[in-house]
Amino acid sequence: MEDRYNQLTGTDVLTYRWIVPSESMTAVGELVVVSDEKKSIRYFTRVTGMHHEYESGGVLVTGFPIGCIGSDNIFRKPRTIPPLHSPVRGMDTEEISLLNMFMGDLEMGCMMSGNRLISEIPVGIPPSVLNQHLGIFATTGMGKSNLMKVLCASAIVTRKAGILLTDPHGEYATGQPGDPHACGLVHHPLAHVGLSVFTIRDESFARMHGLKPLKISHSDLSIADLGLIFDLSHDQYEVIHLLMPFKTDEILDFFIHDDVESLPSHLRTTAYIGNHQDIAQRVRSASPDALRLVQRQIRTLLDLTSGFVNKTESSFPEIISALDENKVVLIDIPGMSDAAELFVLSAISRSIFKDRQNRFINEGLSQTNGNILISIEEAQRVLSQRSEKTGIFREIAMEGRKFGVGIGVITQQPKNIDQRVLAQMNTLIVMGLADRQDREIIASSAKHDLRILDTEIQTLDRGEAIISTIGIPFPVSCHIHHFEEYLNWYS
Ligand SMILES: Nc1ncnc2c1ncn2[C@@H]1O[C@H](COP(=O)(O)OP(=O)(O)OP(=O)(O)O)[C@@H](O)[C@H]1O
């Protein structure tokens, strides 16, 4: 090899340049080490770009130092620069194990260095960051469902955090319907201890797979969530606000037992005869049409959800204690409409958040409680800039951290998520984003500078991700395990 190759030809603190022979297989994302041999400092550097160099006939590579390590063996942000002509080389075994030390317990895949898989470095995020929210940004078909299953599989093994997810497609519990080779979370060898599935499917299916029936009681619901299901007018929102101080089971009882058409006129006389005088008094000033509509919608909602919403029975205490035991809780609701799924997720999320909040206020959360991650697919439905439907999810995004509750925002359209919510996300997993504006928004909210990884993000393949988390001092390229294969490792 000629001398001029693989030596630093230019540096500033955050950009290194060197030339490699044109036939070399250097790839964007590759990790190399630039060593300052005099001072015994090694600079770990990630290839961020390259182009042909006329003069030398080689390829001019640019890289970004992700950290450096001196003779004290402490990994630091690079504030110094290596001298010109410092050698640039691949990582050795000791350097690979050094990077391995930063990886967390919730394993998702293996580290990638350019096109090469480093199987010695399993990539995972620490469970301790889950209360600081997580964003998964993936174009359709890039492997987001597979990633979620792998993340849950790891959580089932490590049992250091609880994860809640809803599944309206029926693919997480027992595998993609119609695919005989697909596996689901129930096939995890530790599912009996680390997984709880609550389902709306029929009893025989549930029994065969060890799933529990999902039950939601009237008092688990919040009247505010009516807006998740129906488009409410200003007047209807007013009715909802008037009703807010009352318990939901009483509100529902009131609307179920009064005659829809005569309700408003009754209320205008003093002769209301019923069990809910206080509610009747309160809604007296509301628009009769809005009141009638709200009543009709409540009845429709209870009709639609009659399979699992009932007066008194509730799975919520069991869901909360499973999450407290750091289990994965899957709400299996195949065929449920978009709106109804959000309604269910909102009710469960509120219950989890309020429980943790109350315990925090009354007893101080014990250190043994792990974090809980509530994952929301297509999160732009509830966390967009102008949505009135953000309710509990925004509250968790803003305040969940101190109570150990984080949200997992999964979306293809980060530009449609409220920027203030994105700013709260301390772990970002990017799985391909074709839209430049989407990439810019993510780059500006990440804890690491992802702008320089733009080329890499654009060249991500299915099953590949860039992970930026406060738990790891540099962004990591990762090849996500294939769920079915990952399960086999445990079997
Ligand atoms: N890491 C991976 N390794 C190998 N194959 C993968 C990986 N991730 C996903 N796949 C395969 O790619 C296909 C699409 O994956 P998946 O269903 O997870 O994508 P998705 O992003 O959830 O898609 P959609 O947006 O349509 O729900 C599946 O056949 C899956 O097995």
CA 140–ligand 1 middle distance (angstroms): 9
pLDDT-derived band of residue 383, with 50, 70 and 90 as boundaries?
confident
464 CA: nearest ligand 1 atom = 1
Indicate yes or no: pTM above 0.80.
Answer: yes
Q: Say yes or no to pLDDT of 349 above 60.
A: yes
142 CA: nearest ligand 1 atom = 21
CA–CA gap between residue 334 and residue 168 (Å, rounded): 4
Which residue puts its alpha carbon closest to atom 3 of ligand 1?
482
Q: Say yes or no to pLDDT of 62 above 70.
A: yes
Query: Which tens digits make up the pLDDT trace of 267-312?
Result: 555 566 667 778 888 887 888 888 889 998 998 889 888 889 999 9
pLDDT-derived band of residue 1, with 50, 70 and 90 as boundaries?
very low
Q: Identify which has the larger pLDDT, 449 or 74.
A: 74
pLDDT-derived band of residue 363, with 50, 70 and 90 as boundaries?
confident
Q: Which fold has domain 8-100?
A: SH3 type barrels. (2.30.30)
Task: Give the model's pLDDT for residue 273.
Answer: 63
Q: Say yes or no to pLDDT of 264 above 60.
A: no
CA 118–ligand 1 middle distance (angstroms): 21
Query: Which tens digits make up the pLDDT trace of 387-411?
Result: 555 688 889 999 999 999 999 999 9
- Residue ranges per domain, the chain? 8-100, 120-212+315-490, 220-304
463 CA: nearest ligand 1 atom = 1
Any idea which of 5-9, 25-29, 70-74 has the lowest mean pLDDT? 5-9
CA 141–ligand 1 middle distance (angstroms): 5
- Residues 59/20, Cβ–Cβ less than 8 Å: yes
Task: Give the model's pLDDT for residue 198.
Answer: 97
149 CA: nearest ligand 1 atom = 18
Ligand 1 pocket mutation pick from 137, 145, 411 by most atoms within 8 angstroms of CB: 145
Q: Say yes or no to pLDDT of 40 above 60.
A: yes
Query: Which tens digits make up the pLDDT trace of 128-153?
Result: 999 999 999 988 899 999 999 999 99
Task: Give the model's pLDDT for residue 365.
Answer: 62
Task: Give the model's pLDDT for residue 265.
Answer: 59
**Domain over 120-212+315-490 is classified CATH 3.50.50.60:** no
In the chain, what percentage of residues exceed pLDDT 90? 56
Query: Which tens digits make up the pLDDT trace of 176-235?
Result: 777 777 889 999 999 999 999 999 999 999 999 999 999 999 999 998 888 888 888 899
Interval 39-47 mean pLDDT: 95
Which H, E and C letters describe the chain, residue by residue?
Answer: CCCCCCEEEEEECCEEEEEECCCCCCCCCCEEEEEECCCCEEEEEEEEEEEECCCCCCEEEEEEEEEEECCCCCEECCCCCCCCCCEEEECCHHHHHHHHCCCCCEEEEEEEECCEEEEEEEEEECHHHHHHCEEEEECCCCCHHHHHHHHHHHHHHHCCEEEEEEECCCCCCCCCCCCCCCCCHHHCCCHHHHEEEEECCCHHHHHHHCCEECCEEHHHCCHHHHHHHCCCCHHHHHHHHHHCCCCHHHHHHHHHHCCCCCHHHHHHCCCCCCCCHHHHHHHCCCCHHHHHHHHHHHHHHHHHCCCCEECCCCCHHHHHHHHHCCCEEEEECCCCCHHHHHHHHHHHHHHHHHHHHHHHHHCCCCCCCCEEEEEECCCHHHHCCCCCCCHHHHHHHHHHHHHCEEEEEEECCHHHCCHHHHCCCCEEEEECCCCHHHHHHHHHHCCCCCHHHHHHHHCCCCCEEEEEECCCCCCEEEEECCHHHHHHHHC
Residue 29 Rama label (left phi>0; alpha psi -120 to 50; beta): left
Which residue puts its alpha carbon closest to atom 15 of ligand 1?
143
Cβ < 6 A, ligand 1 pocket: 138, 140-146, 462-463, 480, 482
Return mean pLDDT, the chain: 88
